[in-house]
Amino acid sequence: MSYLVTIEPTGEEVEVEEGQTILDAALRQGVWLPFACGHGTCATCKCQLVEGEVDIGAASPFALMDVERDEGKILACCAIPESDLVVEADVDVDEDFAGHPVEDYQATVKAIVDLSPTIKGITFSLDRDMAFQAGQYINLDIPGVEGTRAFSIANPPSRANEVELHVRQVPGGAGTRWIHEQMQVGDTLKLAGPYGQFFTRKSDVKDAIFIGGGSGLSSPQSMVLELLEEGDPRQIYLFQGARNVAELYNCELLEDLAEKHANFHYIPALNAPEDGDNWEGFTGFVHDAVKDYFDGKFEGHKAYLCGPPPMIDAAITTLMQGRLFERDIHMERFVTKADGESEQSRSALFKRI
């Protein structure tokens, strides 16, 4: 049994297990809430309960006073949901966040293509248009699999009646195995979206660096396509990391775009090219390609990262060493069901990264 907790004003949703605190669930699912002590004495994580029932847990009477309890204040680090909840937290709404409502859609498989030996491209047509921001994701209901699976949208928002996903088969993963082995054109699935705080900060005119690893090309592809469609004048750099030429998918599409748009630069990097690949591009991890390209200096840029956690962590380290900091780094970590369960303890130094 789990409960759904909606965090206002951002509208992010967190699934909280029986007996789990809101803060613990939020941090594990990549939703940042202000916190410090983590055990009910400091009140940094104080929130307003808007809807639902909670057990306020072991909150200290000095951190959560009687008058506040009467007003419906809770401490996220102690509060355990007893129903689905809506809580209002001290988090900022990004001025570029459009806040498109999350809705359920019927999605019919229109095309399945082999993008690479491990990644399939799935295109769904939706029962109606979905408004979303480039970079956001959807939750897909997969037949016979408990819970939903999150996938980033690879098409630009201009193709509103479609959802294109890049799905890598996760070893031992039930959801992605079904997609790879059983899904057929014409199947109809349920999906919900759009979700997430990963989107293009268009109001900031700084040049943009996009880094996608593996099937994490999806969001950057959507974001880049949209910027180019809109004729955005900023310099756009897309770094794509893959193992070898066979895994480097959509390469021709992107090379083609780079030829047509003087402000778009496409830099693929392979970390283990095969002998037969005749690879002449950058050899090494994608974060090293970024470092090499910019000579290790990133001030004055915005960076958008999408892919598996080790790639994201390496890229953040590279960017920070080149003096680009949290406020200018945005990311979507592709956490698998298994990764989520082995989250390491972390300090409160960073909010999102």
Partner 1 sequence: MAAKKLNLKDKYKLLTRDLDWEFSYEDRKEAFPYEEFEGIKITDWSKWEDPFRLTMDAYWKYQAEKEKKLYAIFDAFQQNNGHLNVSDPRYVNAVKLFLTGVSPLEYQAYQGFAHVGRQFGGVGARVACQMQSIDELRHVQTQVHAMSPYNKFFDGFHDWTHMHDRVWYLSVPKSFFDDARTGGPFEFLVAISFSFEYVLTNLLFVPFMSGAAHNGDLNTVTFGFSAQSDEARHMTLGLEVIKFLLEQHEDNVPIVQKWIDKWFWRGCRLLSLVGMMMDYMLPNKVMSWKEAWEVYFEEAGGALFKDLARYGIRMPKYADVVEKEKEHVSHQAWWTFYAYGHAAGFHTWIPTDKELDWLSEKYPETFDKYYRPRWELAKKLEAEGKRFYSQALPQLCTTCQVPMMFTDMENPGELSYRSTEYKGEKYHFCSDGCCDIFKDEPEKYVQSWLPVHQIFQGNCGGPDVPDILKDFYHFNLGADNLDMKGSPDEERWKQWKSA
Does residue 203 interact with partner 1 by CB under 8 A?
A: no
- H helix intervals, the chain: 22-28, 66-70, 174-181, 218-229, 251-260, 286-293, 309-321, 337-341
Does residue 205 interact with partner 1 by CB under 8 A?
A: no
Q: Which of 282, 338, 284, 340 is nearest to 311 (CA)?
A: 284
| Strands 301-307 vs 148-152: parallel, antiparallel or unpaired | unpaired
Does residue 60 interact with partner 1 by CB under 8 A?
A: yes
Phi/psi of residue 106, each to 5°? -95, 125
Question: How far out from the chain centre does Cα 196 lie?
Answer: 6
**Residue 28 · residue 110 · CB < 8 Å:** no
Q: Which of residues 75-104 bind partner 1 (CB under 8 A)?
A: 90, 92-93, 99, 101
Structure-token match 């057990």, residue found: 55
Q: Which of residues 305-324 bind partner 1 (CB under 8 A)?
A: 316-317, 320-321, 323
What minimum distance in Å lies between the beta carbon of 325 and partner 1?
A: 5
Does residue 63 interact with partner 1 by CB under 8 A?
A: yes
Of 323 and 339, which CB lies nearer to partner 1 in the complex structure? 323
E strand or H helix that includes residue 176: helix 174-181
What do you get for the CA distance between the two ends of the chain, in Å? 30
Of 203 and 278, which CB lies nearer to partner 1 in the complex structure? 203
Of 93 and 111, which CB lies nearer to partner 1 in the complex structure? 93
Does residue 350 interact with partner 1 by CB under 8 A?
A: yes
How many chain residues bind partner 1 (CB under 8 A)?
34
Binding-residue pattern over the window 19 to 48 for partner 1, x denoting contact by CB under 8 A: -----------------xx---xxxx----
Q: Which of 162, 235, 201 is nearest to 304 (CA)?
A: 201
Rounded Cα gap, residues 223 and 1, in angstroms: 36
Structure-token match 């799935």, residue found: 122
Does residue 72 interact with partner 1 by CB under 8 A?
A: no
What minimum distance in Å lies between the beta carbon of 302 and partner 1?
A: 15
Left if phi > 0, otherwise alpha if psi is -120 to 50, otherwise beta: which for 71?
alpha
Does residue 67 interact with partner 1 by CB under 8 A?
A: yes
Rounded Cα gap, residues 249 and 272, in angstroms: 15
**The binder of partner 1 chosen from 203, 278, 342, 345 (CB under 8 A):** 345
What minimum distance in Å lies between the beta carbon of 84 and partner 1?
A: 19
What minimum distance in Å lies between the beta carbon of 26 and partner 1?
A: 17
Three-state secondary structure call for residue 105: strand
What minimum distance in Å lies between the beta carbon of 40 and partner 1?
A: 10
The residues, ordered by sequence, that sit 6+ positions from 308 with a Cβ below 8 Å of its Cβ are: 213, 214, 216, 333, 334
Contact region for partner 1 (CB under 8 A) — 54-62, 139-147, 148-156, 189-197? Answer: 54-62
E strand or H helix that includes residue 68: helix 66-70
Does residue 65 interact with partner 1 by CB under 8 A?
A: yes
Of 63 and 138, which CB lies nearer to partner 1 in the complex structure? 63
**Residue 304 · residue 223 · CB < 8 Å:** yes
**The binder of partner 1 chosen from 184, 252, 260, 349 (CB under 8 A):** 349
Residues found near partner 1 in the complex (CB under 8 A): 9, 11, 36-37, 41-44, 60-63, 65, 67, 90, 92-93, 99, 101, 316-317, 320-321, 323, 325-327, 344-350
